[in-house]
Structure 1
């Protein structure tokens, strides 16, 4: 067992009760790319070359961790989002493809140089750092309740050459701090109801930070309401508010924003035809 081909066969056997064959092959490619600093094409071209024992040992350890349902992103300590590498820790969610769509919606919304953007619940910083790579001349800020998440986000910004001001803040108690105003506010806040835990995989429940995921069944829109309230106080005239949302509460989120005085509220489906994003415009007088 000393080539990439051998190791993939080993993984297919060891993980067959946990993952599909396709999933195992993807996991192997991610591990090979990370540990050998190679591309998928190089994996294919060199799959029968002999590997150092240290690499083989590391790969076997990865397989053992995968057996526990630990996500590969946490095992490797990083993931790719919007074509950018992001490091992760136990206080940061694994970025999802739907969130990439939210980032691109912001990019396509005519954001101009000099625009100030706030990312609430920044986590790994994937949204705000990606915006910094895709938009030129914008002023960026990210906040999160977790000091560990903020530290990780700041590190990701530095690694990717993006200047972002990060702060540890609890948006549910935003009144306790002084804030500037912003032209764009974006958030992917907790929105999964506690009752939905029964539908979720152990990979999520056992490893991803629960306070970044779950909200009480009795008030599933609590973060949206509070952030929308914050926006009325700190969103510049004509500024934009973007949310990633629970697909079960699309119309409810739209109605909430309209009732709070937001205009041009738009609900958008993701690539899987699920209602997962909302954009709204704020015209509030401070």
Structure 2
């Protein structure tokens, strides 16, 4: 008979062929939590408990796909993002902890404001828009070029009781900007990975997440940041703020670009791993 602990350790060992030991342990903890209802405390207390055949087969089926490189979030169909639980599929990027950091910054900096008008560009699963709609006194509009992504984002908004207005729009086409009004906050985590960076990316990202949401041309790494910044200059309120998640390689370049375009105050911030990851740009300097 197979025990909970034995099964867990066996599958962690197999996953270590593809992931680091820490990543393998965390992935299997997620699987055991979501599919068997076993928390870390439960795992410790029930380590020697026998696992039934039905549960064992289910976990093995998931593990086989994990070993092939499929992301655990896609296999389970959901991911937690701050206080929200979001459905995930192949049409959207899996929300990262860094993006949670960005949203947390925005909420903390603006929680005293009322009736904020917010625009989220490249919403994907809707993670940023949903978290801001539920975390701030605001009206939120969210854009994406992908209709399948927007369909999932709408489902996520409903499931999390978030009032978000979704719109299918390509932000790179300036003519589309006429469809947008004025906003107090514009936020975006746009595509920023270079083609040459593919060699350093995990197979579970390359083979299972949408490339349109990941990659930018090698010769134009700030493509989306340039366009969104130009749009923001026309569509931010007088004291409006632009927030970006960025490629850590281009932190100083992105900051300089924003200053050159006329933003009065630009702040570059590091993420939890000490990498340049977030930018805040204000139309007017703080009084």
Give the shorter-chain TM-score range. over 0.9
- Whether the 8 Å CA contact 2:5–2:43 is kept in 1: the answer is no
In the alignment, what sits opposite 2:157? Answer: 157
Residues 98-131 of structure 1, C-alpha deviations (whole Å, 9 max, x = no match): 1111112211223512001111001111111112
The answer for unaligned runs of 5 or more in structure 2 is: none
Deviation at 1:15, TM superposition (A): 2.7
Deviation at 1:38, TM superposition (A): 4.0
In the alignment, what sits opposite 1:260? Answer: 261
- Scaled by the length of structure 1, the TM-score of the pair is 0.93
Residues 119-163 of structure 1, C-alpha deviations (whole Å, 9 max, x = no match): 10011111111122322x211111111111111111111111111
Deviation at 1:58, TM superposition (A): 1.4
More off after superposition, 94-103 vs 213-222: 94-103
2-structure distance, mates of 1:133, 1:144: 20
1-structure distance, mates of 2:251, 2:231: 20
In the alignment, what sits opposite 1:35? Answer: 35
Cα RMSD for the two superposed structures: 1.7
- Partner of 1:48: helix, strand, or coil? coil
- Whether the 8 Å CA contact 2:62–2:75 is kept in 1: the answer is yes
Structure 2 counterparts to residues 129-168 of structure 1, below 5 A: 129-135=130-136, 137-168=137-168
Structure 2 counterparts to residues 118-129 of structure 1, below 5 A: 118-129=119-130
Tell me if 1:113 matches 2:114.
yes
* Counterparts in 2 of 1:20 and 1:257: CA distance versus 1, 3 Å: closer
Residues 217-272 of structure 1, C-alpha deviations (whole Å, 9 max, x = no match): 11100100110111112111110000001111111111111111111111111122
Tell me if 1:276 matches 2:272.
no
* Counterparts in 2 of 1:235 and 1:29: CA distance versus 1, 3 Å: same
- Partner of 2:64: helix, strand, or coil? helix
In the alignment, what sits opposite 1:199? Answer: 200
Deviation at 1:77, TM superposition (A): 1.3
Tell me if 1:246 matches 2:247.
yes
- Scaled by the length of structure 2, the TM-score of the pair is 0.92
- Whether the 8 Å CA contact 1:231–1:282 is kept in 2: the answer is no
Deviation at 1:174, TM superposition (A): 4.5
In the alignment, what sits opposite 2:226? Answer: 225
2-structure distance, mates of 1:7, 1:253: 47
Deviation at 1:2, TM superposition (A): 4.1
How many aligned residue pairs are there? 282
1-structure distance, mates of 2:110, 2:15: 46
More off after superposition, 100-109 vs 56-65: 100-109
- Partner of 1:171: helix, strand, or coil? coil
In the alignment, what sits opposite 1:171? Answer: 171
- Whether the 8 Å CA contact 2:12–2:28 is kept in 1: the answer is no
2-structure distance, mates of 1:175, 1:40: 52
More off after superposition, 251-260 vs 212-221: 251-260
In the alignment, what sits opposite 1:23? Answer: 23
1-structure distance, mates of 2:172, 2:32: 42
In the alignment, what sits opposite 2:86? Answer: 86
